[in-house]
Chain A
Amino acid sequence: MASQIVMPKMSDTMEEGVVVKWLKREGDRVASGDALAEIETDKAVLELEATTAGVLRKILAQEDSKVPVGQLLAVIGAEDEDVSPLFGRSTSPSPQLPPVTGAASMSSAAPASTTASGSGAPARLEPVTRERIDASPLARRMAEEARIDIAQVPGTGPGGRVVKRDIEAFLAQLRSQPSRPPAAPVSAPAGAVEGGAQAPAQLAPVGVAGVDHTERDLSMMRKTIARRMALSKTTAPHFYMTTEIAMERAIAMRQSLNELAADAAKISFNDMILKAVANALRQFPRMNVSYADEKIRLHQRVHVSMAVALDDGLITPVIRDCDRKSLGEISREAKELTELARARRLKPEDYIGGTFSVSNLGMFEVEEFAAIINPPEAAILAVGTIRQQPVVVDGQLGVGHRMKVTLSGDHRAVDGATGAQFLQIVKRLLEQPLTLML
């Protein structure tokens, strides 16, 4: 019995995806779990897996084409089966598609248990696409609490509803996954990065004489950044404050630590800043909050997002429980996340659920800047470069190392004095960096 494969909805923000590359060809035999294609979403490039076995009979979406969520991508069927009725209306937009079998799932999201539905009677299977995420109130609360995106959780309740047991299963799966694959495979996907980043970017001169510009389509990631940053600036009243931090001791400590460490294990200033911010949030939980639905949410755990610049945008992977991790652990994790981000191999659970962001442009010799808050978080710390400058210490003029950091706060959730106190703690921790080793 043939199954349709549609563009799955991989996050609550995803409306369309780009078929980066087909990994199987028409006529190829596929087993359940085989990767069929690479799909670029607004956040990452993910593999589309088959959840049913058969022959890939028909591919309906060309590589580099943009396909709305729910629209037909391909048909899997038996070798000699007439599958043409399944794609007769392949150009129809998603709302008109008949309920479709869940014949494919994204590799990083769906636990295997829920994909078994691919082999059942087609009339009884739930549509893969869910514009409105159907979830029970309890499941929503649990997802919120656990800081997971409920759109990523496969539902097993009536009509594919996400219910309590689905959240429990999803969390169990997250917990059971090894923290992250080792660094080895990261070098490989360089080609995929290129493909992923460039696929939607079609350079085309505008054909009107005298107009000297070109236009290109927005990538998925660009669209997301555009929407989220506009949302942040229009809904969160930002306030800004800058402080200067004396970095002599931090520089000295980093130097002595790195003298002992192998290249791969060297600590960066950014790692120290992440650690200082996490410890400060733990000491001063009033800053570890967000504004949501006319409520202040006080986060029990400290998850620090770090902005990673990419060719076409940026993403903020999250170091979870950053306050409970050692400087070395943070450093390792930050490296891995950065590499995964650049390879566009982050999974949704890698970049969802931060409680505070750090954006560092010090390496570009930016002295100071103000960042836009990454919603729903309530604050972001923008970190400038460390400069040598004349300083007065105890009435003596000397040369010091100073770093400027600027806090942007969402005034709905935190006030200036709150931010100032928080900055003081960050400053103290970095000026007395041995405390970071405690």
Chain B
Amino acid sequence: MAAQEQGFQVIVIGGGPGGYVAAIRAAQLGLKVAVVERDRLGGVCLNWGCIPTKALLRNAEVLSLAQRGEEFGLQIQGLTADYRKAQLRSRQVADRLTRGIAYLMRKNHITVVSGVARLRTTTQVEVEPSDGGAGQVLEAEHIILATGSRERLLPGVTVDGRRVWTSYEALQVEVAPESLIIIGAGAVGVEFASVFAAYGTRVTLIEMLPTLVPLEDPEIAEVLEQSFRKRGMQIMTGTKVEKVEASDAEVRVVVASPQGVQELSAAALLLAVGRAPNTEALGLEAVGVAVERGFVQVKSSQQTSIPNLYAIGDVAGPPLLAHKAMAEGVIAVEHLAGQTPKPLERTNIANCTYCSPQVASIGLTESRAREAGHDVKIGKFPFRASGRAMAMAETEGLVKFVADAQFGEILGVHIVGPEATEMIAEVAALKTLEATLDELILTVHAHPTLAEALLEAALAADGRAVHL
């Protein structure tokens, strides 16, 4: 089928969230598009990242609620939790979404080519089919690199899928381990910590930097750490991994913490030390695409050093977020179609971590804002003062507002607590509109809602919180 088709105007390499959105946008603009995907449509996000982990976290949340049943007057006798079912459900959700993407490709008349792509020239892509059949060469005026990223590994640590995992293996585990050491307390680390801790796993989180979720405001990280400790997790921040040894029976990890060198052991080990861009074997050097520290260099139009070659998403550099990839996909396509899309405003991209309690943020942390020379106003509001949070019995956490004192510009908002990841959307809209504290304060927030905490934090920044 695809082998005979030609005459494409755009080839997208990679069918993840950046790639498929770019393909759909190109089709909407009347361009003839091919997407080359080596594995499954939807990429890591749908299959091995964002989506299945959210399914697992939902199971963990329901389980936690059931365990807290007595608080709500529920007597649940013989409560058991089957992790296998949770894992199965996560796969079903991923499968359903992947089929949804395939449907969207058909609906938009996008040709999906299955195989591994490699640039042959700046307009030609060689595809080696995943099933080992005959290769083919596709040609198009424009090529979009959307090859994404993969789990970063630690030197000297072999991922065996049995005791030593990355997130990819962790998503396929059918039994929650009795104990788990997680190296890295970024989004992946703390999300899996939340999942497995709910299922009774003794979790040890090791982070080299001084706080959990190190990119977040330290005050937010502190709340998360306390919450994790309360649930019995062992937290080791400022701790470096010296050695990892896996045997049939267990994994041993030697760490250098501020307390000294220790040896830890657990049934399993999860490596969550970040992600590396997929730039190798793409033929980038051969056609002369500029790459720096593994990431393809792009302009604000998403063009690489070769004007008809674009790069979007993880491969084009941090932040490594699906929504950033999608936005870049739209920009790349509109640009190659001759439009003048607005470049992405990076400080308006929200960061969401679905651990329990959730963490969400946008813009500058307090210290970054000060470093940038802003005279800042800070406003905080704890969820324990929110009526809605009390009614939900989810009072952990707070909203922290960072605003510029001169103009009330919203510099950053940092949330840890219930539904933080949904609440941040309001701030993203406000920031995109360049609203100031005043407009947020003028916005009547429905009562009772968690979003009122945002309003109160803004009021607090203005020195006039009502419910505190």
Residue picked from A136, A137, A157, A163, most chain B C-beta under 10 Å: A137
| Chain B: interface residue total (CB-CB under 8 A) | 14
Residue picked from B406, B433, B435, most chain A C-beta under 10 Å: B433
For the complex, is B72 an interface residue (Cβ under 8 Å from A)? no
Bits for B384-423, please: 1 = Cβ < 8 Å to A, else 0.
0000000000000000000000111100000000000000
State A120–B433 Cα separation when bound (angstroms): 25
Residues of A within 8 A of B438 (CB): 137, 141
Closest to B408 in A: A141
For the complex, is A148 an interface residue (Cβ under 8 Å from B)? no
Instruction: Report A101 CB to chain B, min CB distance, Å.
Output: 13
Inter-subunit contact A142/B407 (CB<8 Å): yes
For the complex, is B439 an interface residue (Cβ under 8 Å from A)? yes
Inter-subunit contact A138/B338 (CB<8 Å): no
Closest to B435 in A: A137
State A136–B408 Cα separation when bound (angstroms): 13
Inter-subunit contact A138/B339 (CB<8 Å): no
Residue picked from A121, A136, A139, A157, most chain B C-beta under 10 Å: A136
Inter-subunit contact A136/B435 (CB<8 Å): yes
Residues of A within 8 A of B409 (CB): 138, 164
Do most interface residues of chain B lie in helix, strand or loop, or is the interface mixed?
Answer: loop
For the complex, is A145 an interface residue (Cβ under 8 Å from B)? yes
For the complex, is A191 an interface residue (Cβ under 8 Å from B)? no
State whether A158 and B342 are in contact (beta carbons under 8 Å apart), knowing that A137-B439, A138-B434 are contacts in the complex.
yes
For the complex, is B436 an interface residue (Cβ under 8 Å from A)? yes
Q: In the complex, which of the residues A141, A157, A163 contacts B407, with contact meaning CB atoms closer than 8 Å?
A: A141
Residues of A within 8 A of B342 (CB): 157-158
State A136–B406 Cα separation when bound (angstroms): 16
State whether A138 and B435 are in contact (beta carbons under 8 Å apart), knowing that A121-B338, A124-B339 are contacts in the complex.
yes
State A120–B335 Cα separation when bound (angstroms): 12
Instruction: Report B228 CB to chain A, min CB distance, Å.
Output: 37
For the complex, is B340 an interface residue (Cβ under 8 Å from A)? yes
Inter-subunit contact A145/B407 (CB<8 Å): yes
Interface residues of A in 26-53 (CB under 8 A from B): none
Residues of A within 8 A of B339 (CB): 121, 124
Bits for A121-157, please: 1 = Cβ < 8 Å to B, else 0.
1001000000000001111011001000000000001
Inter-subunit contact A163/B340 (CB<8 Å): no
Q: In the complex, which of the residues A121, A136, A141, A145 contacts B433, with contact meaning CB atoms closer than 8 Å?
A: A136
Instruction: Report B412 CB to chain A, min CB distance, Å.
Output: 14
Interface residues of A in 150-182 (CB under 8 A from B): 157-158, 163-164
Interface residues of A in 162-210 (CB under 8 A from B): 163-164
Closest to B434 in A: A136
Inter-subunit contact B340/A138 (CB<8 Å): no
Closest to B439 in A: A137
Residues of B within 8 A of A145 (CB): 406-407
Instruction: Report B73 CB to chain A, min CB distance, Å.
Output: 47
State A141–B338 Cα separation when bound (angstroms): 34
Residues of A within 8 A of B340 (CB): 120, 124
Closest to B407 in A: A141
Residues of A within 8 A of B338 (CB): 121
Bits for B323-339, please: 1 = Cβ < 8 Å to A, else 0.
00000000000000011
State A384–B433 Cα separation when bound (angstroms): 51
Inter-subunit contact B434/A137 (CB<8 Å): yes
Instruction: Report A155 CB to chain B, min CB distance, Å.
Output: 11
Interface residues of B in 221-247 (CB under 8 A from A): none
Closest to A135 in B: B434
Closest to A138 in B: B434
State A353–B211 Cα separation when bound (angstroms): 49
24 contacting pairs across A/B (C-beta < 8 A): A121-B338, A121-B339, A124-B339, A124-B340, A136-B433, A136-B434, A137-B433, A137-B434, A137-B436, A137-B438, A137-B439, A138-B407, A138-B408, A138-B409, A138-B435, A138-B436, A139-B434, A141-B407, A141-B436, A141-B438, A142-B407, A145-B407, A157-B434, A158-B342
10 tightest Cβ-Cβ pairs between the two chains A and B: A136-B434, A138-B434, A141-B407, A137-B436, A137-B435, A137-B439, A138-B409, A138-B436, A163-B434, A142-B407
